[in-house]
Chains A and B, each alone.
Chain A
Amino acid sequence: MMARKHTVLAATTAAAVALTLGACSSGGDDAGTDDGLSGEITVLTNRTDIVDTKLADYVEEFQKIYPDIDVEFEPLTDYEGDVSIRLNSKDYGDVLLVPNSVSQDQLPTFFEPLGTTTELGEKYQFVNEKAYDGQVYGLATFGTAMGLVVNTQVWKDAGITEPPATRQELLDGLKAIREKTDADPYYTNYKDKWPLDQWQNNQGSVAGAGAVEERTQSDAPWSEGQEQYAIDGLLFDVVDAGLSEADPTTTNWEESKNLLAQGKVGSMVLGSWAVPQFKSAAEKIGENPDDVAFWPIPFGEDGKLRSTISGDYKIAIAKNSEHKEAARAWVDWFLNESGFAESEGGIAPATGSGLPESLGTFTDLGVELVELDPMPEGKESLDNDIANGAKIDLWGSQYRQELVDIARGAAKGDKDSFFAGLNSRWADARAAATD
């Protein structure tokens, strides 16, 4: 009996260990031949909301042309965080979107080159955004224009029917909303942080296509006359004049869609990708989706309207993929045949695509679309390096949250002192990065 008890114990332990290790098996090893038309590919996606609906439909359509390719979607809620870490391993799917944390010079380490910039530049837009050394590593799934998502009814109640064409007109319009209606003229969405990063996408609207290079060559981007000053200065002035919500620390992104649809908020700076989301939020709560419109942001006083267009997340093929041809087939189909861009209200990636319907106002107003130039060779990560070295997260929200805090009086300082501080950190980091 003692012996049996001992054996039972050992057997149970062995079984428990085996079960635990069994759960660690790697999935997805498939026996497809690599002739390019068969295989099983894993596609990582950040769209957890449509993975079972729209994306599943795309797979069905795709398999009508390539019946032997199996496409598995892997949705990730914290896409940036999870994929950035997985890049350290060998397993990050076959097709994925390039995370923002990868700098240009790291692209060849993780992704397959898709073609040269000249060759792909004829077929697609935004090829320079994830290109290095003349090779393209990621193609934009759709393009976005920057602008102001507005509730036209709120603006009408304040007496404005046309989109403001100059900066002063915009500020006057927001002031009118504050005085004549109950709505908050502008909603910063400060708490969720990422809506504040959206402001940086406006780069190029003031300085033109060479905006990024200009910034890396300046020791004081936050001084009058420079683009960064114009962009961040507008946000500062809006908050400083009391034209934003009372307590930014308790804002809520999802709720903000309802607030705008209901007419409790007048405007928000976002990309055109947001328009379909706001319209569907309006429908869901029974408001009129046609009240939601997209206007260009006037940064200057000359009446000339510009909007920067850039690619959204870029789709790429993993360097370690075992089914590169099948992956390429999916990428090509997704970009050209799926209709994803149109369904998202974005600019289709193929060259020569016009603006989608949701940006009709832009065509009517004659808004000039600005696409940023690539950085010169050898300097692709310079802008990132300087920003990280200065601890100014141009693409994050920390320094913009500080900016909002100073503007609303919650933090010490004023516009000049804050911008002077940013300038000095930038200059120091620039000196360190360029020597």
Chain B
Amino acid sequence: MSVMNPTRAPGRARSAAPAAGAGRPTRRGWRATPWLFLLVPLGLLVLFTFVPVANMVWYSFTSWDGIDPVKEPVGLDNYVSIFTDPSIFSVFLVSAYYLVGALVQLALALYFATILSFRTRLRNLFKGVLFFPYLLNGVAIGLAFLYFFRPDGTLDALLAMFGVTDPPQWLGDRSIANYSLAATSVWRYMGLNFVLFLGAIQSIPGELYEAADLDGATSWQKFRFIILPGIRQIVGLSLILAVSGALSVFEIPFVMTGGANGTSTFVIETIDTAFTYSKVGLASAMAVVLLLIVLVITWIQRKAFPEDKGDLA
């Protein structure tokens, strides 16, 4: 009978829909509720992120010294001096050490994530040990490693046990200071990459491994043809985070050497320009330049590793 009278069913549906759409008592929900909840976080975001960044962009067009009540505009002078002063860009060479360190960090994290995804003994202990450094405060790590690297410190004592009697000055020797700092950075951040990769690897369905076993694949082949393609997105993301992290590295060198002895990075230079030389305008311009560089790199990532538009329905 309903087939002969198709108009009745749509009629009922029609009468139900408007009631739901207009938000009348039967549905009981303001459309504005989500926005009310977001009010405080958005307010904080605007107040503590967007407003200061906007201010900073404005300062970059002035010659402000940080204290003067008057900020004198100087147009693009700051940007011109950034690109013409060789000493400012030479610090990016130091970032290269951290970039190489980050690549080593990704390789190590991938290796550990792979072997700890499968049935290994004590794997939960190892996961904890590998992730723990990331939870520690950066300043605490810096201070601890200072004692580690000083002459006759922990590292020298360890090496002495293995018979190495004349170790170099890990931080004092300019040619290896950056390696020491990059190694500290790798120790600190590998845990994060490790956990990300671990999660990604565990999302690969187990049947693929069984199928590979049936086909007689070796561990390396399984890694190369099953795991790597499966975690491509995460690897791409980690690579980009590694690059932008290497460009804006600050905490470890600042705490451990203060940027001395050839270990200064772009962000440390920016801080010094702002607070030691009282050139907040120039420092703001440097910060804006770094921001633009990171944005460009992120855009490149989006082109190289386009996101699969997931279907959430």
Residues of chain A at the chain B interface (Cβ within 8 Å):
2-3, 6, 9-10, 13, 16-17, 20, 81, 84-85, 87-88, 101-103, 106, 109-110, 190-191, 193, 246-250, 388, 391, 393, 396, 398, 401, 405, 410-411
Query: Which stretch, B12-20, B168-176, B182-190, B236-244, touches the partner chain A?
Result: B168-176
The answer to whether A401 touches B261, judged by C-beta atoms less than 8 angstroms apart, is yes
- Pick the contact of A191: B28, B65, B258, B272 (CB < 8 A): B258
In contact, B67 and A102 (Cβ under 8 angstroms): yes
Are A106 and B68 in contact (CB-based, < 8 A)?
Answer: yes
Q: Which of B37, B151, B153, B272 contacts A246 (CB 8 A)?
A: B151
Given A88-B67, A250-B146, A250-B151, A411:B262 Cβ within 8 A: yes
Chain A contacts for B277, CB-based, 8 A: 388, 391, 393
Q: In the complex, what distance in Å separates the CA atom of A313 from the CA atom of B306?
A: 58
Interface of chain B: mostly helix, strand, loop or mixed: loop
**Top 10 closest A-B pairs, CB basis?**
A250-B150, A247-B172, A249-B171, A2-B28, A410-B174, A401-B260, A247-B169, A396-B276, A247-B151, A249-B172
A435 to chain B, nearest CB (A): 16
Structural contact, B174 and A411, CB atoms closer than 8 A? yes
Chain B, 265-308, CB within 8 A of any chain A CB: 272, 275-279
B68 nearest in chain A by CB position: A106
Question: How far is A92 from B177 in the complex, measured between Cα atoms in Å?
Answer: 41
Asked whether, in the complex, the Cβ of B67 is within 8 Å of the Cβ of A106, the reply is yes
For A2, what are the chain B residues with a Cβ–Cβ distance below 8 Å? 28
Complex CA gap A6/B150 in Å reads: 61
Cα–Cα distance between A84 and B277 once the two chains are bound (Å): 13
Q: Determine whether the beta carbon of A249 is less than 8 Å from that of B261.
A: yes
Q: How far is the CB of B220 from chain A (nearest CB, A)?
A: 42
5 of the cross-chain contacts (CB-CB < 8 Å) are A10-B36, A13-B36, A13-B40, A393-B276, A410-B173
CA distance A99 to B37 in the complex (A): 43
Beta-carbon contact of B260 and A190 below 8 Å? yes
CB distance from B197 to the nearest CB of A (A): 34
By a CB distance below 8 angstroms, the chain B residues around A10 are 36
The residue on A at minimum CB distance from B259 is: A398
Interface flag for B257 (CB, 8 Å): yes
Given contacts A3-B28, A103-B65, A401-B260, 17 further A-B contacts (CB under 8 A): A13-B37, A13-B40, A16-B40, A84-B275, A88-B67, A106-B68, A249-B172, A249-B257, A250-B146, A250-B150, A250-B171, A393-B276, A393-B277, A405-B174, A410-B172, A411-B174, A411-B261
Please name all residues of chain A whose beta carbon is closer than 8 Å to the beta carbon of B28 when the two chains form the complex. Answer: 2-3, 6
Interface residues on B, range: 20 to 34
Q: Are B177 and A249 in contact (CB under 8 A)?
A: yes
B86 within 8 A of A: no
Is B66 interfacial (CB-CB < 8 Å)? yes
Q: How far is the CA of A245 from the CA of B149 in the complex (A)?
A: 15
A163, chain B: closest CB distance, angstroms:
30
B206 contacts chain A at the CB level, 8 A cutoff: no
Which residues on the A side are within 8 Å of B151 (C-beta)? 246-247, 250
Contacts of A81 in B (CB 8 A): 275
Does B216 sit at the interface, judged by CB under 8 A?
no
Q: Are B275 and A248 in contact (CB under 8 A)?
A: no
List A contacts of B69 (CB < 8 A).
88, 109
Residue from A2, A110, A247, A405 with most neighbouring chain B CB atoms (10 Å): A247
* A435–B261 alpha-carbon span in the complex (Å): 35
Q: Chain A nearest CB: distance from B35 CB in Å?
A: 12
Contact B278 A101 (CB under 8 A): yes
Chain B residues 66-105 with CB under 8 Å of chain A are: 66-69
Q: Provided the pairs A106-B67, A246-B169 are in contact, do residues A410 and B261 lie with their beta carbons within 8 angstroms?
A: yes
In whole angstroms, how far apart are the Cα atoms of A393 and B273 in the complex? 10
Q: Distance (Å) between the CB of A182 and the closest chain B CB? A: 13
Which B29-58 residues sit within 8 Å CB-CB of chain A? 30, 33, 36-37, 40
Tell me the smallest distance from the CB of A303 to a CB of chain B, in Å. Answer: 36
Q: Which B residues lie within 8 Å of A398 (CB)?
A: 260, 272, 276
State which of A88, A109, A246 has its C-beta within 8 Å of the C-beta of B172. Answer: A246
Residues of A within 8 A of B174 (CB): 405, 410-411
Task: Report B90 CB to chain A, min CB distance, Å.
Answer: 13
Which residues in A have their C-beta under 8 angstroms from that of B258?
Answer: 191, 193
B66/A191 in contact, CB under 8 A: no
Q: How far is the CA of A87 from the CA of B37 in the complex (A)?
A: 36
- Taking each of B153, B177, B258, B262, which has the highest tally of chain A beta carbons within 10 Å of its own beta carbon? B258
Are A17 and B149 in touch, CB under 8 angstroms? no
Please report the C-alpha to C-alpha distance between residue A411 and residue B260 in the assembled complex, in whole angstroms: 11
Please, how many angstroms separate the alpha-carbon atoms of A16 and B44 in the complex? 14
- Report the minimum CB–CB distance from A270 to chain B (whole Å): 19
Residue interface bits B142-175, CB-to-A below 8 A is 1, else 0: 0000100111010000000000000001011110
* Complex partner residue of B66 from A13, A20, A101, A190, CB under 8 angstroms: A101
Contacts of B36 in A (CB 8 A): 10, 13
Are A388's CB and B68's CB within 8 A?
Answer: no
Bound Cα distance from A310 to B257, whole angstroms: 30
Instruction: Assess the A17–B279 pair: CB atoms within 8 A.
Output: no
Chain A positions within 8 Å of B68 at CB level: 106, 109
Q: Which of B37, B68, B172, B174 has the most CB of A within 10 A?
A: B172
